[in-house]
Structure 1
Amino acid sequence: MKKALIIGASIIIFIIIFVTIYWNLPITITRKSDIESGNKIIQNIKNYQKTNGKLPDNNDWNTLRKLGFPLKEKAPYLDYATDHQGNFELIYIDGFDGPYLLWNSNEQKWTIDFPKFK
């Protein structure tokens, strides 16, 4: 009985430590694949902007899919927003409430935040 209690307590402590460490890891580790695919799309958007002199429209999903956006049905799905002044955001929507994984062209970095252009 005493041995089982020690083992149970050890497992609970291990789980608490593991979850605490995971929550404190930087997003470049926990969301690495999302950031890598997002960086490719960012580069495609910048190339589109150089070629066409403007950003793609927010709801032009035919163009956005050509730039590498996945289908909206995938979770988390990638959203795109502009402020019509040459700035844009990529937002990984993975739930109803934020904050979300976000890249803003003004800040030029990935953060966990709320969208600024919507």
Structure 2
Amino acid sequence: MMKKAALFITSFFGIIISIIIYWKLPFEITRKSDIEFGNKIIQNIEGYQKKYGRLPERSDYKTLEKLGLSFKDPRIYLDYATDHKGNFELTYLEGFDGPYLLWKSTNRQWKMDFPEIYK
């Protein structure tokens, strides 16, 4: 009986320590697949911008789907927003409160922050 209790306690604390370590890892590690997917979308949007001289419209769902954004799959929560100056943001929306994982064309890097371009 003591061995089972010791095993349970050890396992419990092992799980707690693993969760704490995961929370402390940088987002570049914990969100690697999201960043890689986002980078493909960024390349596609920038290619569109070079070809047509403008960013795709946020309401042009057909074009955005061709560029890799999905509006049919609720598990993909990547939002695209533009401003009138030719800048755009990609934001992984999760929950109601930020900060969110996002990429801004003004600084060209992924970070945990709040969107600046509002719809």
> Do these two structures clear the TM 0.5 threshold for a shared fold by scoring above it?
yes
Is the CA contact (8 Å cut-off) linking 1:89 and 1:105 kept in structure 2? Answer: yes
In structure 2, the residue matched to 1:52 is 52
After superposition, the C-alpha distances for 1:72-95 in whole angstroms (9 at most, x for unaligned) are: 532232110012111100011232
1:1-118 alignment runs, 5 A limit:
1-118=1-118
Q: What stretches of structure 1 of length at least 5 have no aligned partner?
A: none
| Cα distance, 1:18 vs structure 2 | 0.3
Letter of the 2:102 partner, please give it: L
TM-score (norm 1): 0.88
- After TM superposition, where is structure 1 displaced by more than 6 Å over at least 4 residues in a row? none
The farther-off stretch of 71-80 and 13-22 is 71-80
Is the CA contact (8 Å cut-off) linking 2:103 and 2:109 kept in structure 1? Answer: yes
After superposition, the C-alpha distances for 1:1-27 in whole angstroms (9 at most, x for unaligned) are: 433332222112111110011112222
Q: What stretches of structure 2 of length at least 5 have no aligned partner?
A: none
TM-score (norm 2): 0.87
Is the CA contact (8 Å cut-off) linking 1:76 and 1:94 kept in structure 2? Answer: no
Helix, strand or coil for the counterpart of 2:78? strand
Helix, strand or coil for the counterpart of 2:9? helix
Once residues 102 and 73 of structure 1 are traced to their aligned partners in structure 2, the CA distance between those partners, rounded to angstroms, is: 19
After superposition, the C-alpha distances for 1:64-113 in whole angstroms (9 at most, x for unaligned) are: 11111122532232110012111100011232332221111112111122
Letter of the 2:84 partner, please give it: H
